[in-house]
Chain A
C-alpha cells in the first residue's frame, strides 16, 4: 500500500516536471517563432530576383569553391554536379571528393564530365588521408575530382579545403540539388557585410514528391507517404522557426551539412572539420563561434531562409531511425566536446542560452518526453496520477507539436508560397495536427536510442540507399 503511495507521488512529481519542461520548451519555440516570423513577414513580398541581380554582374562577388564529399553516391552524384553547373554565380569551382567509395562514384564522374588525371601540388592546411589521384574535366575546366582513401565525411571536406582555390567554400552533400540562385542568395549577406558574416547556411527542403528534371526543380508537390510528409513539416519548423530565430540572435549552432558557405580563413584558423565525430557540421560551427567569442570579434553566423537545397528524405522507418540516431549522437558528441562553453558567460548568448538550449531542448527532450509518455500511460492504466494531470499533459503535448507545426506551415507559405494549390496546404496542415499522436513518439524513442548509442559507436558516414531525385 505504502509502495503504491510512493509510486503515485513519484509519478506525480515526474508529471509536474514533464509539464513544466514541455510548457517552457513550447514557450521558447513560440518566442523563436515570433522572432523568425517578423523577419519572414518583412521579406514576404520581396522581389528575390531583383534582390540578387546586382551580384550576378558584380566583379566583387567572391569566387566560391563548391565541395561535394561523396561516399558510394554513384546514383546521385552526376545529378548533383550537373545542378551545380546551372548555378547563377559569376565565378566558382566544383570539387567532388570521392572518399574511398566502394561503388562506381569516381567512374561515373570521370565518364560523365570527361575527366583526365592531373598532378597536384597540394597545399596542406590539414592532415587528411592520402589523396590518391586528382582529375579535371576537359569539358568544364572548373570541375575537379579528388580520389582519396576513406577517412569519413569530415576528412573528405578537409581534403577539399586543402585543394580549393577560393576564399569561400560551400559544402554540399553528394545527394543534393541546389536552386539556380541558391549560391548567390547565400553569399549576399557575406558580400554586403564586407566579410562580417563568416558562415551562412541555407534552407534544406525535401524533394520527394516534387518533379526534378535534368537537375532542375520543375514542379513542387507533396509526396504520398506520411513519413516523408511529416519530415517536410519537421524541416519547415526546424529551419523557419528554430534556425531563423536563433540566427537572428547570432547564437545559431547548426548550419546544415547539406548546404552551407564558409569563410575559408576562419575554418583554417579553427582547424577544419573534426574527423572524430558524426556531427562534424555542428561541431565546426560551435568551434567557430568559440573562436569568434574568444577573439572578441563581431563576426556572425547567419541562416538565410530562402536559398534552397533539395535533398532526398528517407521514406521508410528503418532508414529514418538510423538517420535520427546518428543526428542525436552527433549532437551529444558536440555538446560533450564543448561542455566548457555550457553556462559560461564568457561565450555570452552561446554559452548562456544556445548551448543549454541544445542540451536541454534538442538533446534531452527525448528523455523528458519519454518520461511524459510513461506518466500518461501509467496514469491511465494504473491510476497513479489524477485524470486531470493526464489530460493537462496530453493537451501540452499536442500544443507543443501540432500548433508549432501548423505555424511552420504558415511561415512556409509566407516565405516560398510555392505549392501551386490550396489542397497541398490543407494536407500539410492535417498531417501537422497528427504529429503528436504517432510521429513525435517515434522520434522520441529513436532519439533516446541515439543518446544511448552516443556512448558506444564510432564515426561513420551513415549513408542511406539512394533512389536519386532527378530524372533525365
Chain B
C-alpha cells in the first residue's frame, strides 16, 4: 500500500514538473519567435510601404524561413489590405501573396489543424489569391462539418465569383438565410440577375432560404433593377415573403407606388402593420398620417411604437404627436406619443 502511495506521489510530482517544463519552454519559444517577427516587421515595413504604394518596383527581400516569412508578410499585407483602395495597390498585395504564400497556404489547407486551415482561408480571401481557386473548390467538397470553415470556404468562392456556386446553392436547401446573404453580398450584379430570373420563372426550383435572402439583400444593396420584383413580392401568398419584401422596401427607402402598402395598414398580421408604418415614416408619406394615428392605438406595443416613430419623421410630426398625447382616445397611444416626443432617435452608438 505504501509503495502505491509513494508511486502516486512520484507520478503526480513528475506530471506537474513535466507540465511546468512544457509551459516554460513553449512560452519562451513563443516570446522569442514573436520578438524576431516583430523586429523583422519593423525593418521591412518602410520598404514594403514604398513597394506597395508603387514608389519602387523592387520587392524587399523576405526571410528564408517559411514560418517567419509567412508571419511577417501576413502582418504587412493584412495591414495594407484594410487601407489600400486603389486597384494597383491591391494588385501588388495579391501579387506578393501569390508569390510567397500560395504554396504555403496550399499546404495549410491540407493541415490537420483546424485553426491553421481557417487562418489560411481568411487570408486567401483577404489577398484575393485566385491561383488557389481549384484548391478551395476541392476543399469545399472535402468538408464534412457545417461550421465556420464551411462558411468561409463558400465566402471565398463568392469573392472569386465562382460560377458553379449558384448551382451549388440551389442544391442545398438547408443553407441559412444569413449565410446566403453573406454570399450574395460578394456576388456581382449578373449573378443576382440570374437568381431573379430563376425566381420569376419557377420559384419552386429555388430553396426557400435563397428567395428570402435574395429579397432581403435587394433592399440592402439598393439595386433599383430589382425594385419591381420586390414590389411584386408584396402580393405573394406567403406572409414571411411579404414581410421580407416590406423590409426590403424599407431599406430601399422607396417604392414606386405608395398605394400598394395601404392594405398592410389593416393587415391581420401585426408584423405587416408594423412594417407598413415604418415604410410610411421612412418615405414621409404624409397622406397616410391617418393610418398612423390609427396604428398609434394598435393592440401591439411594437406597432404603436413604430407608428409614433413614423409620425415623428413627418414635417408636422411633433404637432401630431403632441395632439395625440392629449387627445387620442387610447391611453396606450397617449403614452407612446409622449415617449416618442421626449425620446431622441438613434439606432446606433
Contacts and interface: CB of A to CB of B under 8 A. Distances in A.
A13 B155 CA distance: 63
A42 B115 CA distance: 6
B349 A119 contact: no
B16 interface: yes
Interface stretch (A54-62, A198-206, A272-280, A284-292): A54-62
A422 B28 contact: yes
Contacts of B9: 395
Contact of B119 (A45, A123, A417): A45
B19 interface: yes
A50 interface: yes
A409 B343 CA distance: 48
B115 A395 contact: no
Nearest to A57: B185
Contact of A51 (B148, B177, B344): B148
A391 interface: yes
A220 interface: no
B144 interface: no
A353 interface: no
A395 B27 contact: no
B96 interface: no
Given A50-B122, A118-B343, A119-B338, A90 B114 contact: no
**Interface SS, B side:** helix
A136 B178 CA distance: 33
B181 interface: yes
A472 interface: no
Given A58-B182, A395-B9, A398-B12, A388 B2 contact: yes
B341 interface: yes
A388 B27 CA distance: 39
Interface string A199-233: 00000000000000000000000000000000000
A457 to B, nearest CB: 38
A194 interface: yes
Nearest to A66: B349
Contacts of B345: 141
Nearest to A390: B5
A392 interface: yes
A93 interface: yes
B291 interface: no
A119 B177 contact: no
Contact of A425 (B23, B304, B335): B23
Interface in B117-132: 118-119, 122-123, 126
B58 interface: no
Contacts of B223: none
A403 B8 CA distance: 13
B15 A403 contact: yes
B31 interface: yes
Given A90-B348, A406-B19, A118 B27 contact: no
A252 interface: no
B85 to A, nearest CB: 16
22 contacts: A45-B113, A46-B118, A47-B119, A47-B122, A50-B119, A50-B123, A51-B122, A119-B339, A119-B341, A119-B342, A121-B305, A121-B332, A121-B339, A136-B342, A140-B349, A194-B177, A406-B16, A417-B27, A417-B30, A421-B31, A422-B24, A422-B31
For the complex of A and B, list the 3 residue pairs with the smallest distance between their C-beta atoms, beginning with the closest: A141-B346, A121-B335, A50-B122
Given A46-B114, A91-B347, A391-B2, 20 more contacts: A42-B114, A42-B115, A43-B115, A46-B115, A46-B118, A47-B122, A50-B122, A50-B123, A54-B182, A58-B182, A90-B348, A118-B343, A119-B339, A120-B335, A121-B332, A141-B344, A141-B345, A142-B348, A403-B16, A413-B26
Interface of A: 42-47, 50-51, 53-54, 58-60, 63, 85, 87, 90-94, 117-121, 123, 136, 138, 140-143, 191-192, 194, 388, 391-392, 395, 398-399, 402-403, 406-407, 409-410, 413, 417, 420-422, 425-426, 429, 433
